[in-house]
Amino acid sequence: MPNPDGRPPPWPFPAAQEITEVLEWRTDVLQSRAGEQRIALRSRPREIVTFQHRCDALGMARAAELVRAGFVGEWRVPLWHLAVQPTADVVQGAAEIAVDTTVADFRAGDGVVVAVDGREASIAEIAAVEADRLILVEPLGAQLPAAIVAALRVSIAPVRAGILSGPVEIARRRQNDGLVTATFLLRDAPDLSAPVMPTYLGRPVQTDPSLTRSPITASLRRAIEYVDNGFGPVVVEPLRDQLERGEAITLKAQGAAERWALRRWLWSLRGRQTSFWLPSWGRELQLRAAMTSGSTLMRVAPITDLAGYVGRAILLEMPSGLRFRTINAAVADGADHRLTLSSSLGEPVAIGTKVHFLTLLRSDADRVEIRHGAVASKVSVTIIQTGQ
């Protein structure tokens, strides 16, 4: 049921539990023996958010009546997983709110919710968005319980139009205590720009430090077919030339800026569409000798046959930063292997320098689920190796 002003009704309950955000793209992956082609069928993802609200008896009754009256209509949904705090106290009568708008999806012409002390939120309309403030259509009034409210007591979140994509569930623990769970499909997904990351050969390199604090599990496989006629030996026939390396990575983000950067990176993947470099962080190449600044020769402990090095990309953790190179050739040098890099590092390389393999990967799913907690956001992504 729309409001008297014609706008969809707000979903007024503050989220008190973990929020789940799902991003869904759609990609056709056409595989051949030597590679693959990826066709994007959805340029922007579908956004699905699930909220859990802790309510008393009155809140549960109100939720039931709101859904009963307007289940099939549009709602104005506060994006509590993008909530931020103002950078200055909020004042009644002010026509602006000082807040960092670069870490959330604030839009001119849309609404913003203002919640004090975690209570039910009120909506104000945004006239303009600047980097450090929101300019409002009308001055703040009934949204605040006092003339001046301290910034630490206030939460500010964007508002987006959405529809209920599933039944609203009410779990009554006691007569005056229960959980209301609602899932919304949001309208007008943003087209976020990719975060600034180091690049190599035109592809971004994922060097998020949260990766190094979480287990990275990997599986190696190859598409094959077992031929068994029942009378003779079993024959293995390869279906693709490329070895498929699958991994599961988990990333964590704490704070509004890190959460926004994580969402921008997930947006840049566009499901299974875009590839990126991922370091193994496994220190596979152990240097046997230091390198001079102009040298392209690297002596390492053997880990594979000579042909196995050629064409592999590597990452070196240098004191001045991360460096990326490609191995162009490999020869035996006594008990060691001597590798020829694509170019010199421009600075000496100490014998204890950490050197990791780089793998070109893409997401193996068009559906990504982010769990937003009170302290941090967490997402697990399954990825596979790709040659392009």
CA distance 364 to 301: 33
C-alpha to C-alpha distances, 376 to 194, 231, 257, 268, 326, nearest whole angstrom = 21, 58, 11, 21, 36
Please tell me the predicted confidence (pLDDT) of residue 106.
Answer: 95
Q: Is the pLDDT of residue 1 over 60?
A: no
C-beta of residue 49 within 8 angstroms of C-beta of residue 160: no
Per residue in 247-292, pLDDT (tens digit) is 888 889 998 999 999 999 999 999 999 999 999 888 999 999 999 9
Q: What is the percent of the chain where pLDDT is above 70?
A: 92
Neighbours of 37 (CB within 10 A): 10
CA distance 121 to 116: 7
Average pLDDT, stretch 17-32? Answer: 88
> How far does the chain reach from its first CA to its final CA, in angstroms?
50
Please tell me the predicted confidence (pLDDT) of residue 240.
Answer: 65
Q: Where are the alpha helices (DSSP H) in 136-236?
A: 209-212
Greater confidence (212 vs 225) lies with: 225
Please tell me the predicted confidence (pLDDT) of residue 382.
Answer: 87
